[in-house]
Amino acid sequence: MRTVSLPVAYMPLVDAAPLIIAQEMGFAETEGIALDLIAAPSWSSVRDMLAFGRVDAAHLLSPMPVAMAMGLGGVQTPISAVSVLSVNGDIIGVSRALEDRLREIAFDFDFADAAKAADALAKVADGTLVFGVPFPFSMHVELLRYWFEGTDLKDCRIEVRTVPPPLMAQALAEGDIDAFCVGEPWGSVAVDRGAGALLLPGKAIWAFAPEKVLAVRTEWAETEPHLLRRLMRAVWKAGRWLSQEESRTTTSEILSRPAYLDVPSELIDRALSGRFTISGQAEQRGVTDFVGFHRGAATFPWRSQAKWIAHRLSLANNLSSDTAQLAAEQVFRTDLYRRHLGGTEADLPGASEKLEGAIRHPTAVASEKGRMSLLPDMFFDGSVFEPMQSD
Amino acid sequence: MAMQSVMDSKLTIVVIEEDRDRAIAIVEALKESGNHDVHVVGPIAGLARKIAAYSPDVVLIDIDNPTRDILEELTLASGPLERPVAMFVSGAAGGLAQAAVEAGVSAYVVDGLQPERLKPVMDTAIARFRMVRQMRTELAETRRALEERKVIDRAKGLLMKAKGIDEDAAYALLRKTAMDQGRRVAEVAEALVTASGLLR
């Protein structure tokens, strides 16, 4: 088999691991492809490179292709999310000033209870709270908005502002922002630079949030099905490898290289192990499954996840939720996932949608191989999202 | 605002560029392409406020600039009449957009600006960004070549001393080792210099 080189754009983040590992650990090579990984300076740049054909595939924020399908933002090229690259993995942090005020009211920084953290933050908020996020269409924004609405923070004046992740720690230190929601390693970088403290992992708001997707141009998926199949299989295997405990050290070493994230491997290990240093006082907190690449059918692009994103975006932009959900349904390609990962070791669920937020304990579900178990996916407020049914 | 800019012949263009020399080169090129009002915004702090103050028709930015995502937010946030949208929206600008992405320049234009008015500006910007980028790449390559030259010279010196051979023989040895190991001569030289540093 002749090796075909595929240009792939990504943002240097811990959750780009499935792409980096697919290339570095030989999963791509086994499929007869070589990933030409291009680190992008911004999400707009990743999107444009994909939309205009500079790359064939990309690591994309899960709400980006959904927003594009809804006509939000500048670029309208049809994009398909063929699998989920990672679930969870965002982190919320606050400035030193807010940290001090939270300690004054004896807040314990439990790094787990979203409602409690919101109440405490609302109590100490003084004037407008400015939150930094990486991009206007991101799970970061959706998690924050959802959290604000369901807690005392709804009565606070809050501004959400875009700040490129590598500049987040500096913006926090200089007082441009009071808090942030960002992907690792940038939250831990902020702690290490003494700019702030970590408040919550993203999964405290939604326990199984699709964070990044593997995205391709819809037209490319149709004209290059064989390349797409090889790419999807390589990335799926990389995700499974990443889910093994013994892969952790190697992964953080590879990701820490200058060509990839260029930060110390110890910082990357925090996200992979779920063991965080949350403040300048070296307090440690643990989170299970802080970021997921495989377990619980993590890579399956549930249409209901896309519909939740579309529903939330429709509320924020005064659009029809039904129309938005119809558009979103075309973006998360369960059909391509089934077609290209069928007949491999990957298990396929019987359904393509689920009630989002209804799983409280690991639950066995009907699947092709009969050994699929879904992980808890609750929202912090206990509500359940029922996706719109198109027929 | 959008209506007016269509009727005026003069465009207000904001260039976001921190490097002063590059900014000047781009501004000069743009002035040659027409009688435009060109402004440069440098530092990231207060970017949104500074851009708004000029109410530009077009914003040009290097694609490698991480602050592009802040511009994305601006394009979404402003009111419908003066909403700058990424130029890539317009079908007519499709080919132009691709060329822009490849040349490393992004443009954000006010809604309603006709693609044909944008074209000369973009053509100039693309040509200039390409040139600037090439100069940057060449500079980096020259620098790297010089660094490698130095390392190879040091490695040659070490070999000459350790093995009592002349310069040509030392270089031949480096080159043979590199070929045998499928590595570049500079890499082998680097490894040798590092190792000898450890042994000292």
**Domain co-membership, A94 together with A213:** no
Q: Per-residue confidence at B27, pLDDT binned at 50, 70, 90?
A: confident
**Domain co-membership, A72 together with A162:** no
Identify the closest residue of chain B to A176 by CA–CA distance.
B45
Cβ of B138: how many Cβ atoms within 10 Å?
A: 10
Kindly determine whether residue A74 and residue B69, on different chains, have CB atoms separated by under 8 Å: no
Kindly determine whether residue B72 and residue A134, on different chains, have CB atoms separated by under 8 Å: no
Percent of chain A residues topping a pLDDT of 70: 99
**Domain co-membership, A51 together with A190:** no
Phi, psi dihedrals of residue A7, rounded to the nearest 5°: -75, 130
Percent of chain A residues topping a pLDDT of 90: 88
pTM of the shown model:
0.84
Cα–Cα nearest to A383, from A210, A208, A206, A209: A206
B76 contact residues in A (CB cutoff 8 A): 72-73, 136
Q: Which residues contact B49 (CB under 8 A, 6 or more apart)?
A: none
Strand blocks (E) in chain B: 12-16, 37-41, 58-62, 84-86, 105-110
Q: How many domains does chain A have?
A: 2
Percent of chain B residues topping a pLDDT of 90: 20
- Residue of B198 and A381 predicted with greater confidence: A381
pLDDT tens by residue, B109-168: 665 666 667 777 778 877 877 777 777 788 888 888 888 899 999 999 999 999 999 999
Find the range with the poorest average confidence among A262-271, A373-382, B84-93.
B84-93
**Exposure string for B175-185, b = 16+ CB within 10 A, e = fewer:** eebbeeeeeeb
How much is the average pLDDT of B56-81? 73
Best of A135, A162, A172 to substitute, by most chain B Cβ atoms within 10 angstroms, is: A162
pLDDT tens by residue, A85-144: 999 999 999 999 999 999 999 999 999 999 999 999 999 998 899 999 999 999 999 999
Q: Is the pLDDT score of B23 beyond 60?
A: yes
Closest-CA distance, A72 to chain B, in angstroms, reads 8
Q: What is the ipTM of this complex?
A: 0.80
The confidence score (pLDDT) of residue A369 equals: 86
Kindly determine whether residue A48 and residue B64, on different chains, have CB atoms separated by under 8 Å: no
**Domain co-membership, A103 together with A203:** yes
The confidence score (pLDDT) of residue B92 equals: 46
Kindly determine whether residue A45 and residue B64, on different chains, have CB atoms separated by under 8 Å: yes
A161 contact residues in B (CB cutoff 8 A): 73
Closest-CA distance, B170 to chain A, in angstroms, reads 31
Cβ of B192: how many Cβ atoms within 10 Å?
A: 21
Task: Among A207, A228, A247, identify where a domain stops.
Answer: A207
The confidence score (pLDDT) of residue B42 equals: 80
Q: Is the pLDDT score of B94 beyond 90?
A: no
Identify the closest residue of chain A to B96 by CA–CA distance.
A52
pLDDT tens by residue, B157-177: 999 999 999 999 999 999 999
Kindly determine whether residue A49 and residue B101, on different chains, have CB atoms separated by under 8 Å: yes
The confidence score (pLDDT) of residue B80 equals: 40
Closest-CA distance, A162 to chain B, in angstroms, reads 5
Name the residue among A41, A48, A76 with its Cβ closest to that of B66: A41
Give the Cα separation of A37 and A19 in Å (integer).
8
Task: Among A175, A207, A239, identify where a domain stops.
Answer: A207
Domain membership of residue A63 as a residue range: 4-88+209-258+293-347
Report chain A's mean pLDDT, rounded to a whole number.
94
Domains of chain B: 2-138 (3.40.190), 141-199 (1.10.10.10)
**Domain co-membership, A42 together with A156:** no
**Domain co-membership, A32 together with A71:** yes
Largest alpha-carbon pair distance within chain B?
80
How much is the average pLDDT of B91-109? 67
> Is residue A342 within 8 Å of residue A265, measured between CB atoms?
no
Identify the closest residue of chain A to B103 by CA–CA distance.
A54
Best of B16, B44, B58, B69 to substitute, by most chain A Cβ atoms within 10 angstroms, is: B69
> Is residue B51 within 8 Å of residue A38, measured between CB atoms?
no
Give the Cα separation of A120 and A211 in Å (integer).
26
pLDDT tens by residue, A17-60: 999 999 999 999 999 999 999 999 889 889 989 988 889 999 99
In a domain, A138, yes or no: yes
Kindly determine whether residue B89 and residue A166, on different chains, have CB atoms separated by under 8 Å: no
Q: Which residues contact A104 (CB under 8 A, 6 or more apart)?
A: A124
In a domain, A35, yes or no: yes
**Domain co-membership, A69 together with A110:** no
